[in-house]
Amino acid sequence: MRTAPVLLAAAASLASHAVAAPSSFYGKRVTLVDSSSASSTCNVTNQPIPPSQDPWYTAPYEFAHEAPGTILRVRPAPGNLSTIAGNCSAAYNILYRSTGSRYDPTWAVTTLFVPKNMSRNSTGSLLSYQIPYDSVFIDSSPSYAMYGGVDTDIGNALGKGRFVNVPDFEGNNASFTAGVLSGHVTLDSIRAVLNGAKRFGLPADTKYAMWGYSGGALASEWAAELQVQYAPELNFSGAALGGLTPNVTSVLFTLYDSIEAGLAPPSILGLTNQFPDVYKYILSKLKTTGPYNATGFLATLNYTLDENISKFAFKNMSMYFENGLDDLFSPVSQKIINSDGIMGYHGVPQMPLFVYKAVGDEISPVNDTDALVERFCGIGVNINYQRNSIGGHVAEGTNGIPAATAWLDSIFDGSFASSANATGCFISNVAVNLTSLSL
């Protein structure tokens, strides 16, 4: 059983990280580079500006008339991002047309890393890597936050000659947990990269697959569900999904007064900001006086993931609302939770899936992932599902990396297609422990 001192020490450790927060909380490894000592060979043309202040992050005139996935604006990523990533010859920011949760026109940004050396395979390869940034603070978007550290998974993929696509999948309003929006933005980021294939040097026959953990898996899974009806022309080779959160209601009940309670405020605001009427309703229910008030709750609008975890640890989220959880799960809110917060009802993934989850996940009950896998298995989806008996949500972010990497390697090198797991549903219990993290 976890004890409060241990958890508080963990929270303090988490809060010590800076811009690389989205990766640090989930046990993911990052490479930190001091830009002042970066290689002089890097082509530094200008320094990155936070999205909230950078005029580049704005909607071009009449963008809504363009098709989803259309490139609206592109630039070499400012500063030394390619050097930070490693194994990278160039990095681009791409602003493109996408679609919101209400199927309204919107736009988003993705970052494309170009490998120094192309894959030795006969075909090109593109990994769409969704980072769990879990914040409604637009400056936490990966296209900017990665200047503070890039996941080594990205550098490793580049080292294998793969292009790597990293979308700001919460969109231009940082709509954390808005499933439909996140899926659309992820799919359209891949469309945009493929639309600019000649410019970016992608081979015409490039294979592409997705990988995400926790919040990154949320975007990846919704993309996998929505692909068949939203982007039927895309032909994914596969998707690796770790630490899935299939039901936002279950997650809220699990964490609302725990060390991870800080995930609740950005989740509530991120999901509802795609629905202005519901967002306004939620704001109207926040208390205006007392220790649990609107000012404290809305501070999350300017917090990174680690700041949310440290500021809201062990706080009872229901105390911020006039009628407690009844306000959060009123009929007004429940309608959008059902449409935008529960996986498994928007389409059948047409690609092979590798799913990995800690049985002791303290953020999203393993039963929810078990049920989602069972649902997809029952309708013919090819799934390899590994349930780890060791660790929790944070630890599995590290423990699951080798298996996910090996599976993706088999997807890209073509060996998966001829393997015994190429068709069917395979569920196994494993015991993998690669980290000292207990959570």
Helix 264-272 with 248-255: angle, nearest 10 deg: 150
Helix 276-284 with 331-340: angle, nearest 10 deg: 130
Residues in CB range of 199: below 8 A, 6 or more apart:
74
214 is catalytic: yes
**Residue 72 · residue 96 · CB < 8 Å:** yes
Report the C-alpha gap between 166 and 151 in whole angstroms: 11
- Furthest-apart CA pair in the chain: how many Å? 64
Cα–Cα nearest to 12, from 437, 302, 311: 311
What is the dihedral sign for C-alpha 372, 243, 188, 109? positive
393 is catalytic: yes
Phi first, then psi, for residue 342 (nearest 5°) are -125, 120
Tokens of 98: 């996408």
Pairing outcome for strands 163-167 and 105-115: antiparallel
- Residue 358's beta-bridge partner residues? 388
| Residue among 361, 364, 368, 410 flagged as catalytic | 361
| Residue among 214, 258, 267, 364 flagged as catalytic | 214
361 is catalytic: yes
**Residue 433 · residue 390 · CB < 8 Å:** yes
Hey, which residues are catalytic here? 214, 361, 393
